[in-house]
Structure 1
Amino acid sequence: MARLLLWHLLALCLLFTGSTLALTFGEGFLENGNFEQKPKPGAISKTVLKGSYALPGWVINGLVEYISGGPQPGGMYFNVAHGVHAVRLGNEASISQKITVKPGSLYALTFGASRTCAQDEVLRVSAGTQSGDLPLQTLYSSNGGDTYAWGFRPTTAVVEVKFHNPGVQEDPACGPLIDAVAIKELFPPKPTRVNLVKNPGFEEGPHRLVNSSNGVLLPPKQEDLNSPLPGWMIESLKAVKFIDKQHFNVPFGLAAVELVAGRESAIAQILRTVPNKVYTLTFTVGDAKNGCHGSMMVEAFAAKETFKVPFNSRAMGESKTVSFKFTAISARTRITFYSSFYHSRVDDYGSLCGPVLDEVRVYS
């Protein structure tokens, strides 16, 4: 009897350990992803890193500076939102690291990034053969704490993750500031019989940096295949913000999206539909309880129909659910959402904000 009880306890331990590993696998900082492991004294001159391996965990190329947050020589001030230290990429400079991944799986990199000099700064992110350029001219939060997510799907078991400044400024040290890099393996959800929308509540999304309270920006022009928000496309000129329940008011579940840049901040999905069939579209709009207030409007598009949903935000975390009908005109129907107006926080006019979108459903 005692031996049987011992086997049961061992099985429970293995089951618990296995489930824990399954939940945490493929998520967290890259090696020295928060840059808090300092370079050795001989590998840095003032702020400039010396040698390809001066920064622990990373390979550097070109003029890369190791920055401490706060006032800088020359009167500048760099805010490091996710810790104490960061790196700044000069003209054509880069940092890279090789990581082990599952070929064919979907991953999202989450990283803090902001411009330091010119408005036209661009950060080029790549993983293996895939790359994308992130424009940094728009500051979504006034304190420099913008956090981005970028998705990729590797074709090999080992890929090189690289952050590169492709720009050439008059000051060779000018360039993007990166203060944290994390990764998460994503599991693309599928539609169900009761809802044609994939990832309807935005529960599956990128890693949320622990000490980040600004949400995660999903860059513009993210296609469906490698989107850091599975199932959804960011097909606009500006980013959409992925927000979590820990730091914002979320109508349902643990996550939602905030449409932070008016008509330039659109999110879309293509559904499988039956032509001439009538469908019902329901979704919830609200405010994130982050100081975003005023008269809001969310516009939704499905097939040839347009729906406008007014919402008066008192910045108290309120929300409402609406329902509309549309007729499919083909085997593929695109649903799109954006905010009609531009908004900023009542306590910080330099921080863009907007209505929250959550729990999108389409059913016949």
Structure 2
Amino acid sequence: MDGPRPGQVHLHRPPIRRHVRCRPSGLKPGKLYSLTFSATRSCAQDEVLRVSVPPIAGDVPMQTVYSSYGADTYAWGFIAPAETVRVSFHNEGVQEDPACGPLLDAVALKELRFPMPPSPDNIVKNGGFEEGPHVFANSTSGILLPPKQQDHTSPLPGWIIESLKAIRFLDGAHFSIPVGKYAVELVAGRESAIAQILRTIPNKSYMLTFVIGDAKNGCHGNMMVQAFATNATVQVPYHSKGKGGSKSASLKFVATEKRTRITFFAAYYHVKAFDTGSLCGPVLDQVKVRPL
């Protein structure tokens, strides 16, 4: 690689660890915010980008490249500890080659609405994924939500990214969305899972409904989304031609505790028909749970 293009920062390590810092001011303490940024690895090594807003910090693994178009775009959430915070992007410097390191590009900050007001007909928070990170107007690859994100700091309010790989946040300007303006794509099979913990009444019956489809992004083949709630599960097949479309599914379950976890993941791995270097998968939208 010849080096970063104009406007990019190369977080190499010659010979000390490298930081990029900014100081957003005028934040609301206790509110949830998301950072959206473009980054990519520059070497075939296990690179990690550490993002921190002291005292909060998290690692964004960059070994997996989800798109062959260049930099992937990520989102990372945090609770603002004060009106003025220091945001740091840090190369941990664990690569074999100290000249290697992730490339960092555009950065945006957005306040998110959380906690979200309850709905009388849906106990799922943000079930339509309409509240999420900032999407760059010129970004056509979606926003990756890194793994191991908890619901109270997730850039997708209400949801836990509990898998080993990321999921992708999609917008209607660049993808086919079943309902509304936003949805998520399960891009890494069983390694790409999303979950939420609901308040439920033990021994009461509930109905989980959701919509799956494809994003009209060339992702094709026989897809399957698996959904879990307590000891109930359903497998929903969907044959995609990569040209858009959706179908509805449902799962009835009986709550066994005051807290019930619902989980979704894709059963198979998929790549785009015209780009075998780009991971993709089924779209998930309009998740609802109502008591029966």
The TM-score, its normalising length taken from structure 2, stands at 0.95
Asked whether the equivalents of residues 24 and 87 of structure 2 are also in contact (C-alpha less than 8 Å), the reply is yes
User: Are 2:134 and 1:207 aligned?
Assistant: yes
Q: Output the CA distance in 1 between the equivalents of 2:142 and 2:243.
A: 18
Q: Output the CA distance in 2 between the equivalents of 1:150 and 1:320.
A: 30
* 2:246 counterpart letter in structure 1: S
Query: Which position in structure 2 is the counterpart of 1:54?
Result: none
* Displacement of 1:127: 1.0
Query: Which position in structure 1 is the counterpart of 2:46?
Result: 120
Unmatched runs of 5 consecutive residues or more in structure 2: none
| Structural mapping, 1:125-274, within 5 Å | 125-188=51-114, 189-274=116-201
Q: Output the CA distance in 2 between the equivalents of 1:268 and 1:289.
A: 24
Asked whether the equivalents of residues 96 and 161 of structure 1 are also in contact (C-alpha less than 8 Å), the reply is yes
| Structural mapping, 1:1-364, within 5 Å | 72=2, 84-91=6-13, 92-100=17-25, 101-188=27-114, 189-364=116-291
SS in 1 for 2:23: strand
Q: Output the CA distance in 2 between the equivalents of 1:124 and 1:300.
A: 32
Query: Which structure is higher in RCO with an 8 Å CA cutoff and minimum separation 6?
Result: 2
Q: Output the CA distance in 1 between the equivalents of 2:224 and 2:178.
A: 17
Determine what percentage of the aligned residue pairs are the same residue. 60
* Displacement of 1:102: 1.0
* 1:209 counterpart letter in structure 2: F
* CA deviation profile, 1:288-307 (whole Å, cap 9, x unmatched): 00000000000000011011
Asked whether the equivalents of residues 345 and 352 of structure 1 are also in contact (C-alpha less than 8 Å), the reply is yes
Q: Output the CA distance in 2 between the equivalents of 1:87 and 1:117.
A: 15
The range that moved more, 159-168 or 226-235, is 159-168
Indicate the structure with greater helix content. 1
Asked whether the equivalents of residues 261 and 353 of structure 1 are also in contact (C-alpha less than 8 Å), the reply is yes
* Displacement of 1:193: 1.5
Indicate the structure with greater strand content. 2
CA RMSD, 1 decimal: 1.2
Asked whether the equivalents of residues 128 and 154 of structure 1 are also in contact (C-alpha less than 8 Å), the reply is no
Runs of 4+ displaced beyond 3 Å: 168-171
Unmatched runs of 5 consecutive residues or more in structure 1: 1-70
* CA deviation profile, 1:246-284 (whole Å, cap 9, x unmatched): 000000000000000000000000000111111111000
* 2:134 counterpart letter in structure 1: H
The count of aligned residue pairs is: 286
* 2:23 counterpart letter in structure 1: K
The TM-score, its normalising length taken from structure 1, stands at 0.77
Distance 1:323 1:119, change over 3 A: same
SS in 2 for 1:360: strand
SS in 1 for 2:190: helix
The range that moved more, 123-132 or 163-172, is 163-172
SS in 2 for 1:253: coil
Q: Which has the larger radius of gyration?
A: 1
Q: Output the CA distance in 1 between the equivalents of 2:152 and 2:110.
A: 16
* CA deviation profile, 1:176-201 (whole Å, cap 9, x unmatched): 00011100000022331110000010
* CA deviation profile, 1:193-241 (whole Å, cap 9, x unmatched): 1100000100000000121100000000000110000000000000010
Asked whether the equivalents of residues 50 and 91 of structure 2 are also in contact (C-alpha less than 8 Å), the reply is yes
* Displacement of 1:145: 2.5
Asked whether the equivalents of residues 45 and 95 of structure 2 are also in contact (C-alpha less than 8 Å), the reply is no
Asked whether the equivalents of residues 190 and 199 of structure 1 are also in contact (C-alpha less than 8 Å), the reply is no
